[in-house]
Structure 1
């Protein structure tokens, strides 16, 4: 079960900053989701908490990288366990699950070094869409069908637009 952070409107933070910030301290995540009308929500937490999250991500990533380098059996075990974390990988062929695992861990490592999670989220999204294709037999057939000699040819490179 995921513990949700406290929530508040951004205007509450502006109008009652001490009371609003105090609300984040009583949640398990020590964070506060700030809703905004005209923009994406914000997440407020302490710098120490953000550093802890980064440290946990980094150390967990290093552990998985070391484990995968140490033992091919570990790669096999992680490949078998991956559906517990990502149930949709069950629609991927076995080789693709392993490929996703390796790409996921390599991206975790690189993202950890950069201090960003966006590339990890992108990898998950891309592989999830791949699983959706495998899960839909009609879509899979359409995307993998041999279209014969319809003469589509090479697609030209897009024009470079100078700014």
Structure 2
């Protein structure tokens, strides 16, 4: 069950910082979602809480990597249980689920090393989009049918500075 963080407008934080911070510390997540009118919302939490989140991702990733390296069966088991964590994985072919697992774990490991767990979001979004294509038979058929004619070779894009 996901719990929602406390919420406030950014102006509340600026006008009543002590009250707003108290609401943050009293919330289940010990954070507060700050709504902004003209830009992306912010999430405010303590540095210690943010570090804890990074440590959890790091520890979990290390466990998955160690399991996958120590026993080939681990990949098979993790591939089998991945749909529990990501229900949309059920629409991917088996080989793609394994590919997703490997990419997810490798990206998570790199993200922790780079201190940017946000690097996982595009991986999840890309694979979720792939699952969506597989789930839609019409769309999948359109995207995988052979072309009726050869459209010729494609030139590589120009790289600036070369």
Task: Give me the TM-score of the superposition, normalised by structure 1.
Answer: 0.94
Post-superposition offset of 1:75: 1.0
The answer to whether structure 1 residue 23 and structure 2 residue 23 are counterparts is: yes
Match of 1:61 in 2: 61
Structure 1 portions without partners, runs of 5+: none
Match of 1:136 in 2: 136
Post-superposition offset of 1:73: 1.2
In 1, the alpha carbon distance for the partners of 2:19 and 2:153 equals: 61
2:9/2:34 contact within 8 Å kept? yes
Specify the SS of the correspondent of 2:8. Answer: strand
Moved over 2 A (4+): 154-162
Post-superposition offset of 1:57: 1.0
In 2, the alpha carbon distance for the partners of 1:46 and 1:145 equals: 52
Superposed CA offset, 1:63-115 (max 9, x none): 11101111111111111100001001111101110110011101111111111
In 2, the alpha carbon distance for the partners of 1:55 and 1:25 equals: 20
Post-superposition offset of 1:27: 1.1
Post-superposition offset of 1:153: 1.5
Match of 2:33 in 1: 33
The answer to whether structure 1 residue 155 and structure 2 residue 154 are counterparts is: yes
- RMSD after superposition: 1.3
2:54/2:112 contact within 8 Å kept? yes
Structure 2 portions without partners, runs of 5+: none
In 2, the alpha carbon distance for the partners of 1:144 and 1:50 equals: 43
Pairs within 5 Å for 1:9-158: 9-148=9-148, 150-158=149-157
Specify the SS of the correspondent of 1:33. Answer: strand
In 1, the alpha carbon distance for the partners of 2:143 and 2:154 equals: 17
In 1, the alpha carbon distance for the partners of 2:62 and 2:136 equals: 36
Specify the SS of the correspondent of 1:25. Answer: helix
